[in-house]
Amino acid sequence: MKVIEVRNLHFRYPRSRTPALSGVSLSVDRGEMIGILGPSGSGKSTFLLTLNGIIPHSIRGEFSGEVVLRNPLTGEEFKTSKTPVSKLSTIVGLVFQNPESQLFNMTVEDEVAFALENMGLPRDEIEERVEWALGVVGLSNKRDEFPPNLSGGEKQRLAIASVLAMKPPVIAMDEPTSQLDPMGKRDVERVILKLRREGITVVIVEHDSRFLFKNADRLIVFDGGRILLQGTPREVGARVDELVDLGIKVPMSLLLSHRLGLSPVFSPEDFPSRVSL
């Protein structure tokens, strides 16, 4: 079942000459993990903002085409341009690049409970969800902490828990690990894999493609507001030269196997690479 359908989407920010998105069409199946890659300014963040209606409701501009979300549990369809963000965000939860912008409560527990209280859920349901979400992200032992005292990776996991607790069928993340140290990054990546095992559809934007090449079901490459390439990691990996030309970090093993004329190989020992051989 398709949970997201994007049809011929165009968007131009006010006072901007060039469109940020041009003719983007894409659908996402329930349970898929989608990786979005592309150079800076290619429209990745803008695209995510169209998924829960922040564009066009809160950020206005020239918008055409359509984005339709489908609740996989009820089959109900929502056209984002005609549905309030409060409703859309129960289907697509967004996690931003900078977790600080999403954290403003006194304790970890309150942070996760906050949106649930606003949804008017009963107390015991809130407690159950808070416990579950903190468990998934591995922060159960930090529930009484003051969020600003957490490490970068913990803050990001807390931001994920706050979104997860609302039980959206889709979670979209904008560069969730780009500001983290290697340990924080690894912990967040583990959480992302866990979300997928929970049956959640995950859409992730990252500059560094190594995690996505290894784990995503499908990769979408944006360039200049358009989809340049899409396919399985293997299919997209076959176009590694184009990715390198765009400045996208690719797994070293992929680069090597391509240069040696072998079929794409993704090894767990991949190390950072922008190296040309």
Ligand X SMILES: Nc1ncnc2c1ncn2[C@@H]1O[C@H](COP(=O)(O)OP(=O)(O)OP(=O)(O)O)[C@@H](O)[C@H]1O
The DSSP annotation for the chain comes to: -EEEEEEEEEEE-TT-SS-SEEEEEEEEETT-EEEEE--TTSSHHHHHHHHTTIIIIIS-SEEEEEEEEE-TTT--EEEGGGS-HHHHTTTEEEE-S-GGGG--SSSHHHHHHHHHHHTT--HHHHHHHHHHHHHHTT-GGGTTS-GGGS-HHHHHHHHHHHHHTT--SEEEEESTTTTS-HHHHHHHHHHHHHHHHTT-EEEEE-SB-HHHHHH-SEEEEEETTEEEEEE-HHHHHTTHHHHHHTT-B--HHHHHHHHTTPPP---TT--------
Residue among 62, 43, 27 nearest 170 (CA)? 27
Residue 13 contact, options Mg ion, ligand X, none, Cβ 5-8 Å cut-off depending on partner type: ligand X
Which of 4, 46, 171, 216 touches ligand X (CB under 6 A)? 46
**Please, what is the minimum distance in Å from the beta carbon of residue 82 to Mg ion?**
26
Is 74 or 101 the residue whose CB approaches Mg ion more closely? 101
Binding piece for ligand X, criterion CB under 6 A, among 12-20, 82-90, 113-121, 164-172: 12-20
Is 38 or 93 the residue whose CB approaches ligand X more closely? 38
Does residue 16 touch ligand X according to CB under 6 A?
Answer: yes
Is 45 or 179 the residue whose CB approaches ligand X more closely? 45
Strands 170-174 and 201-205: parallel
Is 46 or 201 the residue whose CB approaches ligand X more closely? 46
Does residue 41 touch ligand X according to CB under 6 A?
Answer: yes
Binding piece for ligand X, criterion CB under 6 A, among 39-47, 72-80, 179-187, 265-273: 39-47
Which of 5, 30, 45, 179 touches ligand X (CB under 6 A)? 45
Does residue 13 touch ligand X according to CB under 6 A?
Answer: yes
Is 203 or 254 the residue whose CB approaches Mg ion more closely? 203
Report the C-alpha gap between 240 and 231 in whole angstroms.
13
**Please, what is the minimum distance in Å from the beta carbon of residue 221 to ligand X?**
11
Does residue 20 touch ligand X according to CB under 6 A?
Answer: yes
Is 42 or 89 the residue whose CB approaches ligand X more closely? 42
Does residue 43 touch ligand X according to CB under 6 A?
Answer: yes
Decide: 57 and 258 in contact? Cβ < 8 Å.
no
For residues 25-54, which are near Mg ion according to CB under 5 A?
45
Which of 38, 93, 99, 152 touches ligand X (CB under 6 A)? 38
Is 115 or 173 the residue whose CB approaches Mg ion more closely? 173
**Please, what is the minimum distance in Å from the beta carbon of residue 145 to Mg ion?**
29
Q: In the complex, which residues of this chain contact Mg ion (CB under 5 A)?
A: 45
